[in-house]
Structure 1
Amino acid sequence: MQATEVKALLEEQLPDSEVLVEGEGCDFRLTVISDQFHGALPVKRQQMVYHHLNDFIANGTIHAVTMTTLTRDEWEKRKSQD
């Protein structure tokens, strides 16, 4: 699976989100930015993303995923600190 495919899948399944993907093959590092995460604990945020990747993980298409999940405000604050 290509990074562009992961990005397209998640942006389609999580409307109004922005997904940054690094990696290729079966190992990906994701930054998912969405206001759908507002008020959700980190584990719940990850569950929201994994929900759309579970079939690919189960069949071995994706082996490893590392993710950061942020609201748009959190993303803007992080960018201003860099």
Structure 2
Amino acid sequence: MPITREELEAVIRAAIPVTKVNVEDNSGGCGEKYSVLIVSKEFEGKTTLARHRMVNEALKTQIAQIHAFTQKTLTPEQWEDSQNASNVTS
């Protein structure tokens, strides 16, 4: 049974207190390729590698069942800065 976007989001929310989470199925609906954006205060003071390890640990069962998985992990401050930057360039 393929992994669903909703399943990934539920596991992330259960494992990490998030401000924002966005899960995209980039496989055309077959559940084989996902990208996620996770915004959490838990990422403050952690390197990108440490953040990704947190997410990978939380999703280890699901990641083992999909072909491709990419993640972007930001603190709330980084998320706000990225939103402000995109509004300036728009």
Q: Is TM (by shorter chain) over 0.5? A: yes
Q: Provide the C-alpha distance between the structure 1 equivalents of 2:47 and 2:18, rounded to a whole number of angstroms.
A: 19
Residues 1:69 and 1:16: Cα distance change in structure 2 (over 3 Å):
closer
- 1:17: Cα distance to partner? 4.0
TM-score when normalising by structure 1: 0.88
1:16-35 to 2 correspondences below 5 Å: 16-23=18-25, 24=29, 25-35=31-41
SS at match of 1:39: coil
Q: Provide the C-alpha distance between the structure 2 equivalents of 1:44 and 1:17, rounded to a whole number of angstroms.
A: 18
Q: Provide the C-alpha distance between the structure 1 equivalents of 2:39 and 2:16, rounded to a whole number of angstroms.
A: 10
- 1:2: Cα distance to partner? 1.3
Indicate the structure (1 or 2) with the bigger Cα radius of gyration.
2
Q: Which runs of 5+ in 1 are unaligned?
A: none
Q: Provide the C-alpha distance between the structure 1 equivalents of 2:32 and 2:72, rounded to a whole number of angstroms.
A: 18
TM-score when normalising by structure 2: 0.81
2:15 is the counterpart of 1:5: no
- Counterpart amino acid of residue 78 in structure 1: S
Partner of 2:72: 68
Q: What's the % identity of the aligned pairs?
A: 31
- Counterpart amino acid of residue 21 in structure 1: V
Partner of 1:56: 62
